[in-house]
Amino acid sequence: MTPTHLPNPCFTKKGTTTRVTLKKTSDAESKETWSWFLTNLGYDLEITNSHHIAFMSDRQKGLIGVVKELFPEAEHRNCVRHIYQNFRHKHKGKGLKDLVWNAARASNEVKFKICMERLKQEDREARKWFDHPERPLQTWTRALFKTHSRCDMLLNNLCESFNRYILYARDKSIIAQLEMIKNKLMKRLYKKKEWINKYQGIICPKIEKKLNQIRLEAALFRSNFSGGPRVSVEGPGGPFIVDMQKKSCTCSRWDLTGLPCPHALVSIHGNSDKVEDFVNVYYKVETFKNVYSYFINPTNPEDHWPDVMNGGEVLPPKIVKKNIGRKPKLRRKEVAELEKQKKAETQRQAERRSVKKDEESAPKKLSKKGSIHIKCSICKKDGHNARGHYKYVNIVVPEARQPFETQDPSV
């Protein structure tokens, strides 16, 4: 079992926030293995105070208790997709699904309470399902997330993407697997470093695209300045109060992500300020360069390793019951994903049948044979043209003329 720290333009090794992608290799998930893994993770990342750490995970066996024990001050979020999968076992329906996801996406407590009240009106039992102590509200809704991490992610897609990234190495032996992952990350670090050194700009390009989208939303709002640090913004869903000094807004989107929300952006432009001055340092090119300034050194292959003498007694591994057959590479899909895949396949089959039916019912192209008079331009006969002249007509090619000979050879 090994930890892996993936650099990202929004990740910092040391500072106010550390966001980590975890990948583990283990025979079984238990409290003991999770404790060993997270202990080594904290040592590798030099975590002495966990108040600035935010974990996101599924509800793996033994993981929640270990995180509370080793990192008592850390924030622990749960993936909303997996929470909804457990929710839908007892409470089905698209209406309930939309209400749950709206509550998860709500960026402030006012919107969150409105969504939960609507859920209660729709189904009281569904609302009571979230009151269980094992499903605390602050672990799955943006409205109750801590703002120090500048991250509003609701899903652990980052881990799923990394699992896909190393898919080709997952069925290899442990040493070969780690070597393949190391080489892949080594090349990635180098490519990212070379790419960012050529980029001209203050803010990372993907963040620039997000800001362009926010600018389109900001066109719907109008700012009213008071002469102080606070600005009143009117528009859909408003009014909103933007604090330019604290870099905060009533909608809480600026607080959560570190990117100016549409209300903040219209205030920045109205005050003739630069947007770059109000974007969090995590999204700037200098931070990106610092993250990718590290590198991974290549190592010699196993046959070049030095011999270890008196390295101590090697204990045999614990016997773990393994399933029969080849170890699967692809992740196990959720019920909703299978239903969506089946629905898409049914729709594709219906489209193919419709196209086939239209082709069968469409009028077929009639043959021109017998309806058009054809005459050969070579032999002037009917029934064929010049292209088919030698195919349908037997032409006798005259023999080549012999050279002229006289009767008297002496002449």
Q: What are 73-114's pLDDT values in tens digits? A: 888 888 888 888 888 888 888 888 899 999 999 988 899 999
The beta-carbon contacts of 381-390 under 8 Å, at least 24 apart in sequence, are none
The pLDDT assigned to 186 comes to 92
- pLDDT over threshold 80, residue 33: yes
- pLDDT over threshold 70, residue 32: yes
Q: 2 falls in which pLDDT band (50, 70, 90)? A: very low
Full 3-state SS string of the chain: CCCCCCCCCCCCCCCCCECCCCCCCCCCCCHHHHHHHHHHHHHHCCCCCHHHEEEEECCCCCHHHHHHHHCCCCEEEECHHHHHHHHCCCCCCHHHHHHHHHHHHCCCHHHHHHHHHHHHHHCHHHHHHCCCCCCCHHHCCHHHCCCCCCCCCCCCHHHHHHHHHCHHHCCCCHHHHHHHHHHHHHHHHHHHHHHHHHCCCCECHHHHHHHHHHHHHHCCCEEEECCCCEEEEECCCCCEEEECCCCEECCCHHHHHCCCCHHHHHHHHHCCCCHHHHCCHHHEHHHHHHHCCCCCCCCCCHHHCCCCCCCCCCCCCCCCCCCCCCCCCCCCCCHHHHHHHHHHHHHHHHHHHHHHHHHHHCCCCCCCCCCCCCECCCCCCECCCCCCHHHHCCCCCCCCCCCCCCCCCCC
Between CA 60 and CA 221 the distance in angstroms is 44
Percentage of residues in the chain with pLDDT exceeding 70? 84
The tokens of 312 are what? Answer: 């101590």
Contact call for residues 232 and 219 (beta carbons, < 8 A): no
The pLDDT assigned to 101 comes to 92
Query: For all residues of the chain together, what is the average pLDDT?
Result: 80
The pLDDT assigned to 369 comes to 65
Tell me the average pLDDT across 391-408: 52
The tokens of 224 are what? Answer: 């009213």
pLDDT digits (tens, 9 = 90+) for 190-230: 999 999 988 888 899 999 999 999 999 888 998 888 888 89
The pLDDT assigned to 315 comes to 78
pLDDT digits (tens, 9 = 90+) for 113-127: 999 999 999 888 888
Between CA 72 and CA 62 the distance in angstroms is 15
- Which amino acid, 120? K
pLDDT digits (tens, 9 = 90+) for 34-58: 888 888 888 888 888 888 888 888 8
- pLDDT over threshold 50, residue 22: no
The pLDDT assigned to 394 comes to 60
Tell me the average pLDDT across 221-244: 87
- pLDDT over threshold 70, residue 290: yes
Between CA 1 and CA 5 the distance in angstroms is 14
Q: 335 falls in which pLDDT band (50, 70, 90)? A: confident
The pLDDT assigned to 383 comes to 75
Among 271-275, 340-344, 386-390, which stretch is predicted with the lowest mean pLDDT? 386-390
Among 105-119, 291-305, 310-324, which stretch is predicted with the lowest mean pLDDT? 310-324
Contact call for residues 373 and 382 (beta carbons, < 8 A): yes
Among 56-65, 149-158, 329-338, 390-399, which stretch is predicted with the lowest mean pLDDT? 390-399
Between CA 34 and CA 134 the distance in angstroms is 19
Contact call for residues 100 and 79 (beta carbons, < 8 A): no
State which of 168-172, 274-278, 328-332, 361-365 shows the largest mean pLDDT: 274-278
- pLDDT over threshold 60, residue 15: no
Omega into 236 within 30° of 0, i.e. cis? no
- pLDDT over threshold 80, residue 366: no
Query: For 389, what's the count of Cα atoms within 13 Å in the CB-facing half-sphere?
Result: 12
Report phi then psi at 152, rounded to 5: -115, 25
217-218-219-220 Cα dihedral, nearest 10 degrees:
80
Q: 263 falls in which pLDDT band (50, 70, 90)? A: very high
Which residue has better confidence, 380 or 143? 143
Tell me the average pLDDT across 138-158: 87
